[in-house]
């Protein structure tokens, strides 16, 4: 028998999805050995998601804090055959059914056994019944994610987060309008962006913010998140020369999930 965990995030508790998570756990042949309600602190978030740093991932840190520290969560200690892989399947099941983006995805569990040991010991280590230590030969911390611009130089980041938060929590988010690359003539081309897992949120927003001259940071953030969610979304429209320049800047920033194409229908 193995042990693992699932963290039910604040939106899972708030939207009444706990029974759905428990049903998915049972369907995977797992049992809940112990459960603990807790409210994560910014320090907890920094320990659990150490691949993001305060200086290199300003937007991700601020959004994670807003998401995970604003209400209670619940951690479930799971036991059963191949619990590590089974818990990962639970996460995929719940997210595929109910998730609404990276800051509304309801549940978390570890993707590596080293990460499992680090996070489970932190979340469960204060309970006597859960005191058996999780161990792994893998590195405990995840590798650092690609860095982005320190947007604290450009905007009030907490205010930005509050401004975009309703859009990130909407059940059916409205597509953000593509950014106009020039206004001198009707658009004849568009630069498209998709999901690029090689980038962090901050490095992707940095690329988009640089590629769309004059775009405000909140709009660059919403365009990046929406394109990552739906794939192949037009983030900028204009003449062929302007669209080609924006595409070239994205490529120079290492973005591979981008392309040029016709503008979307008006």
Are 250 and 192 part of one and the same domain?
yes
User: Phi then psi for 215, rounded to 5 degrees?
Assistant: -70, 145
Are 113 and 36 part of one and the same domain?
yes
Average of per-residue pLDDT values in the chain? 94
Q: What is the mean pLDDT of the segment spanning 54-75?
A: 97
**For residue 139, pLDDT beyond 90:** no
Burial group, residue 201, by CB count within 10 angstroms (0-12, 13-18, 19+): buried
Question: Residues 6 or more apart from 266 whose CB is under 8 A from it?
Answer: none
pLDDT in tens, 186-229: 899 999 999 999 999 999 999 999 999 999 999 999 999 999 99
Q: Is the dihedral of CA 218, 95, 1, 37 positive or negative?
A: positive
**What's the rounded Cα separation, in Å, for the pair 225 and 102?**
8
Number of domains present in the structure of the chain = 2
pLDDT in tens, 105-136: 999 999 999 999 999 999 997 777 776 678 88
Residue labelled with tokens 């604003």: 70
Q: What is the predicted pLDDT for the residue at 172?
A: 82
pLDDT in tens, 11-62: 999 999 999 999 999 999 999 999 999 999 999 999 999 999 999 999 999 9
Reading the block at residue 207, the tokens are: 């690329």
Residue labelled with tokens 């991932």: 57
In a domain, 151, yes or no: no
Out of 130, 165, 199, pick the residue that ends a domain. 130
Q: Are 48 and 141 in contact (CB under 8 A)?
A: no
Q: How far is CA 133 from CA 77, 117, 120, 139, 151, in A?
A: 12, 8, 8, 16, 39
Residue labelled with tokens 């619940």: 74
In a domain, 142, yes or no: no
Percent of the chain with pLDDT over 90: 86
**What's the rounded Cα separation, in Å, for the pair 105 and 102?**
6
**What's the rounded Cα separation, in Å, for the pair 100 and 97?**
9
**For residue 8, pLDDT beyond 70:** yes
Across the beta sheet with 107-108, the strand order is: 31-38, 73-80, 2-8, 107-108
Residue labelled with tokens 């999901």: 195
Q: What is the mean pLDDT of the segment spanning 90-105?
A: 95
In a domain, 136, yes or no: no
Q: What is the predicted pLDDT for the residue at 131?
A: 65
- Check which CATH number belongs to the domain holding 189 and give it: 3.30.1390.10
Out of 71, 102, 130, pick the residue that ends a domain. 130
Range of the domain at 57: 2-130
Beta-carbon neighbour count of residue 68 at 10 Å? Answer: 23
Q: What is the predicted pLDDT for the residue at 133?
A: 79
Question: Residues 6 or more apart from 197 whose CB is under 8 A from it?
Answer: none
In a domain, 165, yes or no: no
In a domain, 253, yes or no: yes
Three-class SS state of 193: strand
Q: What is the predicted pLDDT for the residue at 127?
A: 77
Question: Residues 6 or more apart from 89 whose CB is under 8 A from it?
Answer: 28
Residue labelled with tokens 């595929």: 96
Residue labelled with tokens 């920094």: 46
């Amino acid at each position: 028998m193995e042990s693992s965990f699932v963290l039910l995030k604040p939106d899972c508790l708030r939207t009444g999805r706990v029974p759905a998570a428990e049903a998915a756990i049972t369907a995977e042949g797992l049992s809940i050995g112990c459960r603990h309600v807790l409210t994560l602190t910014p320090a907890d978030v920094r320990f659990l998601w150490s691949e993001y740093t305060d200086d290199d991932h300003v937007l991700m840190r601020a959004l994670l804090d807003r998401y995970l520290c604003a209400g209670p969560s619940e951690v479930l200690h799971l036991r059963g055959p191949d619990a590590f892989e089974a818990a990962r399947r639970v996460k995929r099941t719940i997210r595929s059914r109910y998730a609404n983006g990276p800051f509304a995805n309801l549940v978390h569990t570890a993707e590596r056994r080293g990460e499992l040991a680090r996070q489970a010991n932190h979340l469960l280590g204060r309970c006597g019944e859960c005191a058996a230590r999780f161990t792994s030969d893998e590195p405990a911390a995840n590798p650092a994610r690609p860095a982005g611009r320190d947007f604290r130089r450009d905007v009030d980041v907490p205010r930005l987060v509050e401004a975009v938060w309703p859009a990130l929590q909407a059940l059916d988010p409205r597509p953000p309008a593509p950014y106009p690359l020039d206004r001198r003539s009707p658009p004849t081309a568009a630069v498209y962006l998709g999901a690029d897992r090689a980038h962090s949120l901050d490095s992707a927003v940095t690329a988009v913010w640089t590629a769309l001259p004059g775009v405000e940071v909140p709009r660059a953030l919403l365009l990046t998140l929406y394109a990552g969610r739906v794939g192949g979304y037009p983030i900028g429209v204009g003449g062929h020369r302007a669209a080609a320049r924006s595409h070239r800047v994205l490529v120079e920033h290492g973005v591979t999930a981008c392309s040029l194409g016709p503008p979307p229908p008006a």
